[in-house]
Amino acid sequence: MVFDDRRHAGRALARVLRELPDCSDSVVLALPRGGVPVAFEVARHLRLPLDIFLVRKLGVPGQEELAMGAVAGGGIVVLNEPVIRLYSIRPEIIDAVALRENAEIQRRTAIYRGRHPPIPLKGRAVILVDDGLATGSTMRAAIRALRPIVRRIVVAVPVGAAVTCSDLRSEVDSLICLETPAHFQAVGEFYRSFDPTSDDEVRALLEAAWPDRGLPHPA
């Protein structure tokens, strides 16, 4: 299946998630930026609260699209050891990139959240949403940061590499991936429109979802 765009993918995910038991008290957590349009539709159609959870990829210097790991709020760092070994990346380089990305998490939190406080997550069930899974580094960082806090974790993505989905399944209570193609190269292959999600789009969607911590429900 090829999705028209991220919001189309979110609506498709919502139809599947509706059939899951024990989702009625969940909080939908979007991984910005690309996960926000997907999660917005999931939360809207399931009538669930929406929030964001900031995770940043640790890109290999000079090849930033290649993930050597990820960092999540609270200083949780998850490393992609095969990439680190392959490129002989030194610990001090990893530390420098992690420090920079932690600062970016703080900056984006202020931009996206504004005056809105985070939804308390302790003891809650959460649905973690992104626009796809490639290496899974950012999603894994989010899972490990949330695991000590929340009661239940569901990961929901429109598309992902089969091996990544298989690896992550053991770390969560449920994993929903609509498409796990045999020949996976990049998440964007499975979207007709996959333009970068802008900060302005993220803010607009969150403002639509957060005026009174409710959501506009679908007709």
Report pLDDT for 177.
97
Reduced 3-state DSSP string for 101-136 = HHHHHHHHHHHHHCCCCCCCCCCCEEEEECCCECCC
CATH of the domain at 37: 3.40.50.2020
Give the three-class secondary structure for 54.
Answer: coil
pTM of model > 0.75: yes
Question: Which tens digits make up the pLDDT trace of 27-41?
Answer: 999 999 999 999 999
Structure tokens at 214: 């409710």
Phi and psi at residue 51, to the nearest 5°: -145, 175
Contact (CB, 8 A) for 10 and 24: no
The reply to whether 218 falls in a domain is: no
As separate numbers, helices (DSSP H) first and strands (DSSP E) second, the chain gives 7, 8
Number of structural domains in the chain: 1
The reply to whether 80 falls in a domain is: yes
Report pLDDT for 64.
86
Question: Which tens digits make up the pLDDT trace of 178-200?
Answer: 999 988 999 999 999 999 999 99
Mean pLDDT, rounded, of the chain: 91
Write down the H helix ranges in 170-209: 199-209
Residue 219's pLDDT band (cuts 50, 70, 90): very low
Phi and psi at residue 132, to the nearest 5°: 170, 170
Question: Which tens digits make up the pLDDT trace of 144-159?
Answer: 889 989 999 999 999 9
The reply to whether 219 falls in a domain is: no
Cα–Cα dist 199/132, whole Å: 19
Which tops the pLDDT comparison, 66 or 213? 66
Contact (CB, 8 A) for 156 and 129: yes
Give the three-class secondary structure for 19.
Answer: coil
Cα–Cα dist 95/107, whole Å: 19
Write down the H helix ranges in the chain: 6-17, 35-46, 81-86, 91-113, 137-146, 162-169, 199-209
Question: Which tens digits make up the pLDDT trace of 118-127?
Answer: 899 999 999 9
Cα–Cα dist 21/194, whole Å: 31
Question: Which tens digits make up the pLDDT trace of 195-206?
Answer: 999 999 999 999
The reply to whether 107 falls in a domain is: yes
**Statement: residue 16 has pLDDT above 60:** yes
111: left (phi over 0), alpha (psi -120 to 50) or beta: alpha
**Statement: residue 215 has pLDDT above 90:** no
Which tops the pLDDT comparison, 99 or 1? 99
Report pLDDT for 213.
53
Q: Which domain holds residue 27?
A: 6-209
The reply to whether 137 falls in a domain is: yes
